[in-house]
Chains A and B, each alone.
Chain A
Amino acid sequence: MKARAFSYFRAATIDQALDAHARAGDDARFIAGGQSLVPALSLRLQAPRLLIDITHIDELRGVRRDGGYLRIGALTRHCEMLSEPLIAEFAPLLHAAAPFVAHPAIRNRGTFGGSVALADPASEFPAMTLALDAEIEIAGPSGSCRVKADDFFLDLFETALQPGELITAVYVPLFKADQRFAFDELARRRGDYALVGCGMLATFTGERVDDIRISFFSVGNTPTRVKGAEATLIGSSLEAERIAAAQAALEGDLAPPDSDEVPPAMRLHLARVLLGRMLGRLGEGA
């Protein structure tokens, strides 16, 4: 349970961090909160030559409005999702998801950017970036760019991030008065990984759904948008039969992996139950 020996470098700027990574011949890892990376190092699942600490880079901090977006700095800690007023007002889905992320002490260290970068398919925040139609800002040796969440999660722990690149911020479209959101998950024990989890964001005209984005986690190799279910709900007023149709559509949207503990049919059933509950709440104005 001890990490292999490595060198440690504390970067003061993004450029310093990127430069250090390049000089280590890509045999380096960035560390911020480290709440997933440190166990991986301790178990020697990873054994880089160099650890680059990015926690003291001011450019990666802060939450602020930027045009039609909320710019959430990569180093924003999970606990700040609960305490930061701008998050509660303009990204309430993240505020709602935060209490479900691990335990309080983990939330005190873990960072939003780190969670998105790791892309654990069972994690809450990566899936919420999909529901929110967020954009992920990436800095790399060849410059900076923004990638839509829809294009970011590629496969199990695999993202659009290339070696040596760094998430600098996540841009979330500002929550609007005609929008509603819901978040929930089913877990055996509070703080455990969810058996199934889901977040959704819908835009309404009166009681009619004009647009809805629904993202599941813990049901596949990546966070997963359920476009079939979304399509059945557009134009509806979340009537019972339309909700039932959305639940039925999950069969085509989700392909839960086989596991001894939770058979795919059970996970799909739980996803339907969860979706039904959440759409019911959304219809009531949640």
Chain B
Amino acid sequence: MSGFDQTLLDDADETVRVQLTVNGRRVACEVAPRETLVDCLRNELELTGTHAGCEMGACGACLVQLDGRAVHSCLMFAVQADGATINTIEGLSETGVIADLQAEFHRRNALQCGFCTPGMLVNAHELLSQVAQPSREEIRDALSGNYCRCTGYEAIVDAIEAVAQARDQGGGTK
């Protein structure tokens, strides 16, 4: 009745089957319990838009949407996400929900090497879904967990601010 099978203790690193809805598709993969979600997305599902940077929650390159909220995919194991709905940068791109953000990042050169960009976009998307017209200070605060080693922050803040204004005036995508 405990629900706990003692033999589990002898099966560390045995793969388990995990079911996810990723970018609108139901998928299943076999993962070891210690495999992080970012590794699962990149290695098992070949969704390499999610980047593994610091792998300790500091840089923000691995952000994905989990059940509608931005989370670090390096700070959870894939088994924890069993049954969850995940949108990666690929899914957000395909559906067009961040097309205006992507265009504005491009227009303002808010990406240089691009390594941090997927996480920046996931975070910007979350911010604008919660605060329609964030101040520059609020944008900076929201981005405080995203590192850009090319130091493109000013252009990134510009791009997010411009999209917020355009959306407010009825332009851009929702």
Contacts and interface: CB of A to CB of B under 8 A. Distances in A.
Contacts of B74: 38, 42
Given A19-B2, A39-B56, A34 B75 contact: yes
B69 interface: yes
A109 B33 contact: no
Interface in B57-80: 57, 60, 63, 69-72, 74-77, 79-80
B113 interface: no
A7 B60 contact: no
A3 interface: yes
A5 B144 contact: no
B46 interface: no
A105 B12 contact: no
Given A24-B9, A49-B9, A108-B69, A34 B60 contact: no
A3 B34 CA distance: 6
Contact of B77 (A38, A102, A108, A190): A38
Nearest to B140: A190
A105 B4 contact: no
Interface residues of B, number: 40
A8 interface: yes
B12 A109 contact: no
A35 B9 contact: no
Contacts of A2: 34
A103 B4 contact: no
B152 interface: no
Contacts of A108: 69-71
B60 A103 contact: yes
A104 B70 contact: yes
Contact of B57 (A7, A10, A41, A106): A106
Contacts of A97: none
Contact of A5 (B13, B70, B80, B145): B13
Given A9-B4, A13-B3, 15 more contacts: A19-B2, A34-B75, A38-B74, A38-B76, A42-B74, A50-B8, A79-B69, A103-B145, A104-B127, A105-B57, A105-B123, A106-B57, A106-B72, A109-B72, A109-B75
The 9 A-B residue pairs with the shortest CB-CB distance in the complex, in nearest-first order: A103-B145, A5-B13, A8-B33, A191-B144, A39-B56, A5-B12, A20-B4, A108-B69, A19-B2
